[in-house]
Each structure stands twice: as C-alpha cells, then as structure tokens.
Structure 1
Amino acid sequence: MIVIATLVAALAAVLHVLIFVMESVLWSRPSVWKRFAVPDQAAADITRPMAYNQGFYNLFLAIGAFVGIVAYGVGEHAVGLTLVFFTLTCMVLAAVVLVSTGARYIRAALIQGILPLAAIVLIFLSDPLTT
C-alpha cells in the first residue's frame, strides 16, 4: 500500500510542478490565465506578480514531497514520511483555502487537493512506520 501512496504523492507533486509552470512561466498566455478565471489581459498583467509568487509556492511544495519520497526510499522512513505528510497536508489546506474564496473555485480546489488527500489516506492505511 505504501508504494501506491508514494505514487499518488508523486502525482500530487507533479501536478504542483505543472501549476508552477502555468503560474510562473506561462502566465502571459491567454490559454493559461483563462484557466485561473482571469477575465482579460489587463487583469492577467496586474495579477502576473502574484501568480509568479504563487507558482513558486507550488514548486516548493512539490520539491518537499519529492525530497520526502526520496528520503523514505533510501531508508530515512520517519524523516521522509514527515516531509511527505507535511507537504501533502499543505497542498490539501491550500485547496481548502481556495474553496473558501468562492464556489467558482471548487473544481480547481478538487484538482489541487484530491491527489494529496488520497495520498494521505493511503499513507495512513498502509501504516508504514510499523513495517
């Protein structure tokens, strides 16, 4: 079960890397900012610095998850699991905050939060520290 949890956690991290790319690298493309419910180019230009910053938050969470997965894989189970759990929890809580900003963000919050939540549940179901 821990292998499946690790794969789901890695998918959550990959998703957050993709969000980083959209927010911090490709934000100037209308096809990207429209995905984030930005209404026009002027609003995209105004929100570009915020999106750039937010994208890096997503990247750092992804890096934390990847480092935790590697640490777990090389035998540092407690350290790796702690780091993975922390970063996944931050991802889920960010999705909760996103929902709190309005009902129109429910879909985005589900996309952002379902993989890390599933990984957390799988981690608890696998009981990895007792094996």
Structure 2
Amino acid sequence: MIGILALVFAALAALLHVYIFIMESVRWTTPVVWRRFGIADQQAADTVRPMAYNQGFYNLFLAIGAGLGILLFAMGGPDALVAGRTLVLFSLGSMVAAALVLTTTGLKYLRAALLQGTLPLIGFVLMLFA
C-alpha cells in the first residue's frame, strides 16, 4: 500500500513538473503565464525568456526521470525495483532540493516553493518505506 501511495505522489509531482515545463518553455509568451512568475511587463518577459525556456526543460527532465522510475518500480522484479526506487528518489529529491533553493530567493517565493516541493517530498518519504 505504501508503494502505491509513493507512486501516486511521484506521478503527481511529475505531472506538476510537466505543467511547469509547459508554462516556462511552451507558453511563456502568454502574459498570464509570465505574470504568474512575477514578471511585470513584456520587455522583462522577453529578457527572461531564454532562462525560463531552459528552466522548463530542467523540470521536464525531472518529470521524465520520475516517470521512468515509476514504470521500472511498477514492473517489479528485484533489479527493476532497485532501479525504479533509485530513479524516483533521485528525481523527487532533486525536485525537493530545487524547491528549497527557491526559498532562499525571498519570502515572496515561499508559496511557489511549497507548491513545487510538497508532492515530491511526500512521494520521497513514502518511497523510502516502499
């Protein structure tokens, strides 16, 4: 049961990071998106666009890592379980670490850090016991 819950939270964290990728790398030019990230105007959004594009792909790669880990873990078998657990723990741990780093940039990012880091943290802790 703990393993299933761990996989559910890992999957939710991965989906969230795919959504962040879409916002940062695909839909960045939409004012509603860049305003969500605290960007004040189109000129600033254009200036930050290459960084957001790159950052979005970091989020996508973490989501892919978690997804592959989930698949391996769900396949069963001793080797797949070890590899899947390792990949899920690494991916979720990286997501949590990124959220912690975000908190160092100022209190106005605390809500975003909590949103970004809560699902992977829960999944990480559950996966430790799966």
Q: TM-score, normalised by structure 1?
A: 0.94
- Which residue number corresponds to residue 104 of structure 1? 108
Deviation at 1:39, TM superposition (A): 1.1
- Which residue number corresponds to residue 119 of structure 1? 123
- Which residue number corresponds to residue 80 of structure 1? 84
**Structure 2 unmatched ranges of 5 or more:** none
CA–CA separation in structure 1 for the residues paired with 2:105 and 2:26: 24
- Which residue number corresponds to residue 46 of structure 2? 45
Question: Which amino acid counterpart does residue 54 of structure 2 have in structure 1?
Answer: N
CA–CA separation in structure 1 for the residues paired with 2:127 and 2:87: 12
Percent of aligned pairs with the same residue? 58
CA–CA separation in structure 2 for the residues paired with 1:23 and 1:31: 12
Deviation at 1:73, TM superposition (A): 1.0
Deviation at 1:110, TM superposition (A): 0.4
Residue correspondence of structure 1 range 57-76 to structure 2 within 5 A: 57-75=58-76, 76=80
1:87-114 Cα shifts (integer Å, max 9, x gaps): 0000000001111011100000001000
1:7-28 Cα shifts (integer Å, max 9, x gaps): 0100000000000000000000
CA–CA separation in structure 2 for the residues paired with 1:108 and 1:65: 20
> How many residues were matched structurally?
126
Q: TM-score, normalised by structure 2?
A: 0.95
- Which residue number corresponds to residue 99 of structure 2? 95
